[in-house]
Amino acid sequence: MTAIGAHLPILVVLVPLIGALLAALCRRGWQGLSIAAIACAADVLFGIWMLQEVRATGQPLSYVMGGWAAPWGIEYRVDVLNAFIVVFVSAIGAVAMSFAGPSVTSEIDEDRQAWFYSMFLLCLAGLLGIAVTGDAFNIFVFLEISSLATYVLIAMGRDRRALLAAYQYLIVGTIGATFYVIGIGLLYLATGTLNLADMASRLGPVVAEDVRPVMAALAFVTVGISLKLALFPLHSWLPNAYAYAPSVATAFLAGTATKVAIYLLLRFFFAVFDPSLDFVSLPVDDILIIASVAAMFLASFSAVFETNAKRMLAYSSVGQVGYITLGIALANQDALTGAIVHLFNHAIMKTALFLALGAIFYRIGSVRIADLAGIGKKMPLTFAAFVIAGLGIIGVPGTAGFISKWYLAIGALESGNWLLVFLIVVSSAIAVAYIGRVIEAAWLREPSELAAKATEAPAAMLVPIWILAIATVYFGIDTRASADIAAEAARMLLRVVQ
């Protein structure tokens, strides 16, 4: 047991990495799928194991690569926050894989299916690597691994516009990574270290001497990561990427990719830089609040007028990211709890929505809202799950989305900013309009030509969709496994600050 236990932080990355290699060697889709499913399931277990350990001991797990001690060698460092990220990212991966079989078979050519799973695993390895590593340059490496895999995943979409979307993301993603690496370069020049914990402890004296290079580094890192997490107005790559990628890839990326980027932002803002620097010398919090509120409103409005349901949900994601970054900018216990728990809650709900759309696409070959008319009658179970997850996005009480917004609203009041409370609730009301449009079309309208021929989704698809739909309600009522952990992570981040 302990032989494995001691190596958990690296195993989390190695298992999908090796899985990716194995899957690439496979001929058939189902072989790749089996490897991917096993790797995801193993990572969920590793994640839960680590999470329990760090919660029990209250100390981060430290793993030194190749036996080279921390500041010189690469250190993997797992605390409550990133253990939580590992658990839900690999759990979303596992759910996506249990859905993938029929969907991938119908959307991707037979000879490329194993490749698809290989790329999926590579992406997962990259995302989890970003989460567990405690080394700034290692983060860059994993950022590139996950990004390159993502470009391929998007480009595998049947629609030829997927190629353009992948290319668009490639350019934006490369700019983002470059900004990040410039920022890291400046920090390395200033501190002489790449280990995040070491860097944090050395920044104090450096800042006292000359604040400008560090501020420049902060600016580069913030913009670089903001591109990856699709912070408004740096979100232009996201709607097309989500809309034209294969259904499974969209569902997985929507739940995980931006979330891991947000984790990075949290890590840099609270554990590397000091908020006295990022929120005082350079008013990152004000900028972040403005960008977040703009995302909550403008992206949500774009969602209302979108005719393609996948793009609509993509814009909704940009808006939802706004809530998370808002919580980060407010930087108090409750707001930060709201931000972290919304990483998790939004991942569940949005993945459920995209999987439900994936099941509909599997049956009717379209996700245009006009074509969804009357689908509620033909696929009642799929559609009911869509409604539940949609209510979660709106933030109806009794769903996970409500819990996030409650913490955010309390956090806004704590910071004395009651206007933000109203901005939060008014922008959630916009979600009523875009989710309501789909519900109205799917349920109250006469079936479209495509929908008339549809039948209920296969059980293999319904089960993962419903797992997430039930989770949406469960985590709206019992928050011990979500908000309590998020609160613990928030406390940890704020303690680092003090």
User: For binding to other proteins (CB under 8 A), which residues are involved?
Assistant: 391, 394-398, 403, 406-407, 409-410, 413-414, 418, 421-422, 425-426, 428-429, 432-433, 436, 440, 443-444, 476-479, 483, 487
Give the ranges where 230-308 is alpha helix by DSSP (H).
237-244, 247-266, 275-276, 284-294, 300-304
CA distance 476 to 403: 6
CA distance 428 to 104: 33
Looking at the Cβ atoms of 223 and 381, the one nearer to other proteins is 381
Provide the minimum distance between the beta carbon of 394 and other proteins in the complex, in angstroms, as a whole number.
8
Provide the minimum distance between the beta carbon of 428 and other proteins in the complex, in angstroms, as a whole number.
6
> Exposed/middle/buried for 333, CB within 10 Å: 0-12, 13-18, 19+?
middle
Looking at the Cβ atoms of 96 and 348, the one nearer to other proteins is 348
CA distance 188 to 195: 10
Looking at the Cβ atoms of 156 and 420, the one nearer to other proteins is 420
Looking at the Cβ atoms of 113 and 337, the one nearer to other proteins is 337
Phi, psi (deg, nearest 5) at residue 59: -115, 145
Q: How many residues does the chain have?
A: 498
Looking at the Cβ atoms of 36 and 430, the one nearer to other proteins is 430
Provide the minimum distance between the beta carbon of 444 and other proteins in the complex, in angstroms, as a whole number.
5
Provide the minimum distance between the beta carbon of 425 and other proteins in the complex, in angstroms, as a whole number.
5
Looking at the Cβ atoms of 206 and 433, the one nearer to other proteins is 433
Paired strand residues for 75: 64
> Exposed/middle/buried for 209, CB within 10 Å: 0-12, 13-18, 19+?
exposed
Looking at the Cβ atoms of 216 and 433, the one nearer to other proteins is 433
> Exposed/middle/buried for 473, CB within 10 Å: 0-12, 13-18, 19+?
middle
Provide the minimum distance between the beta carbon of 413 and other proteins in the complex, in angstroms, as a whole number.
5
Looking at the Cβ atoms of 10 and 373, the one nearer to other proteins is 373
Sequence-separated (6 or more) residues with CB below 8 Å from residue 210:
none
Looking at the Cβ atoms of 157 and 395, the one nearer to other proteins is 395
Provide the minimum distance between the beta carbon of 279 and other proteins in the complex, in angstroms, as a whole number.
23
CA distance 287 to 185: 24
Provide the minimum distance between the beta carbon of 325 and other proteins in the complex, in angstroms, as a whole number.
20
The tokens for 400 are 């996970």
Whether residue 154 contacts residue 49, with contact meaning beta carbons closer than 8 Å, is answered with no
Provide the minimum distance between the beta carbon of 426 and other proteins in the complex, in angstroms, as a whole number.
5
Q: Distances from the Cα of 122 to the Cαs of 198, 243, 372, in angstroms?
A: 29, 21, 33
Provide the minimum distance between the beta carbon of 479 and other proteins in the complex, in angstroms, as a whole number.
6
> Exposed/middle/buried for 205, CB within 10 Å: 0-12, 13-18, 19+?
exposed
Whether residue 224 contacts residue 177, with contact meaning beta carbons closer than 8 Å, is answered with yes
Looking at the Cβ atoms of 189 and 444, the one nearer to other proteins is 444
Evaluated on CA atoms 133, 139, 141, 147, the torsion sign reads positive
Provide the minimum distance between the beta carbon of 391 and other proteins in the complex, in angstroms, as a whole number.
7
- Kind and range of the H or E run holding 75: strand 75-78
CA distance 100 to 94: 10
Looking at the Cβ atoms of 176 and 395, the one nearer to other proteins is 395
Provide the minimum distance between the beta carbon of 396 and other proteins in the complex, in angstroms, as a whole number.
5
CA distance 136 to 41: 28
Provide the minimum distance between the beta carbon of 131 and other proteins in the complex, in angstroms, as a whole number.
27
Looking at the Cβ atoms of 117 and 407, the one nearer to other proteins is 407
Categorise residue 374: left if φ over 0, alpha if ψ from -120 to 50, beta otherwise: left
**Residue 61 DSSP SS3:** strand
